[in-house]
Amino acid sequence: MAFVYEYARPSVTVDCVIFGLDDDGLKILLIQRDGDPYAGSWALPGGFVEMDESLDQAAQRELQEETGVSEVFLEQLYTFGAVGRDPRTRVITVAYYALVNLKDHKIEAATDARAAAWFALDDLPALAFDHDQILQMAQERLQGKVRYQPIGFELLPEKFSLRQLQRMYETVLGRSLDKRNFRKKALGLGVLEDLNEVERDVSHRAARLYRFDRAKYEQLVKNGFHFEL
């Protein structure tokens, strides 16, 4: 492995853009940096990739260490490698993104972060490094992807009503959808399992609850079905 030391080579980090949904809309998870550079600034959770872990594993580990959030479905977003993006030295970062149901994931700041917190997308602090660029690309990817793949189900609780599903789509897409057309289409996809249950303790007519049937979804995809919502 001598060549590793022959020249200075770029280092590799991972950074995670974690989207969460609650009644106020979309949020993202940030940490407050403890060490230099950008000490005190808010940043995406992330850190250096170790020799004995894959990129995916590194992203999961850093997310867990810095925020306490674990077991999320992280998807690779893009790799950022501009020369000056870290003021200290050359750092290439592989960015990941994920969607989580905000209520399922309690956060706890840890180790190399002062704090971890959810921020509304329209009320963000200044971010360290080029993390604003990374976030922007993540939002674009999310909007593009949610239209033809049912990734958005990660944002919802296990059991959800069609209204919750519609609001999630409206929030992510940033526009309103027609109720009847949405329901027709969502049910027509054949990946929602009707639980024969209704909401409880709501002061209006209770909605039926559904579950996302991932097995049926994967079967349809295998047969070449093309999703779109």
Residues with Cβ within 8 Å of residue 131, at least 6 apart in sequence: 15, 43, 44
Beta carbon of residue 227, minimum distance to DNA (angstroms, whole number): 10
User: Which one among 35, 48, 184, 195 touches its own copies, defined by CB under 8 A?
Assistant: 48
**186-215: contacts with DNA (CB under 7 A):** 198, 200-208
Distance, in Å, from the CA atom of 74 to the CA atom of 100, rounded to the nearest integer, reads 10
Q: Which residue in this structure is represented by tokens 């995670």?
A: 16
Q: Which residue in this structure is represented by tokens 């991932």?
A: 214
**Binding of DNA by 149 (CB under 7 A):** no
**Binding of DNA by 184 (CB under 7 A):** yes
Using CB under 7 A, which of the segments 1-9, 71-79, 137-145, 177-185 binds DNA?
Answer: 177-185
The entry of its own copies, DNA, none that residue 228 binds, CB within 5 to 8 Å by partner kind: DNA
User: Which one among 22, 65, 78, 216 touches its own copies, defined by CB under 8 A?
Assistant: 78
Left, alpha or beta for 175 (phi > 0: left; psi -120 to 50: alpha)? beta
**Binding of DNA by 162 (CB under 7 A):** yes
In the numeric block, which tokens belong to residue 45? 């959770």
Q: How far is CA 23 from CA 66, 86, 161, in A?
A: 25, 36, 14
**Binding of DNA by 228 (CB under 7 A):** yes
Beta carbon of residue 181, minimum distance to its own copies (angstroms, whole number): 18
For helices 179-188 and 162-173, the axis angle rounded to 10 degrees is: 110
Q: What angle do CA 58, 61, 67 make, to 5 degrees?
A: 130
Distance, in Å, from the CA atom of 181 to the CA atom of 119, rounded to the nearest integer, reads 32
**201-220: contacts with its own copies (CB under 8 A):** none
Distance, in Å, from the CA atom of 133 to the CA atom of 130, rounded to the nearest integer, reads 6
Distance, in Å, from the CA atom of 189 to the CA atom of 88, rounded to the nearest integer, reads 50
The entry of DNA, its own copies, none that residue 205 binds, CB within 5 to 8 Å by partner kind: DNA
Beta carbon of residue 181, minimum distance to DNA (angstroms, whole number): 4
Beta carbon of residue 7, minimum distance to DNA (angstroms, whole number): 52
The entry of its own copies, DNA, none that residue 78 binds, CB within 5 to 8 Å by partner kind: its own copies
Q: Which residues bind its own copies (CB under 8 A)?
A: 1, 3-5, 7-12, 48-56, 58, 76, 78-79, 81-83, 88-90, 92, 94
Q: Which residues bind DNA (CB under 7 A)?
A: 161-163, 178-181, 183-185, 198, 200-208, 228
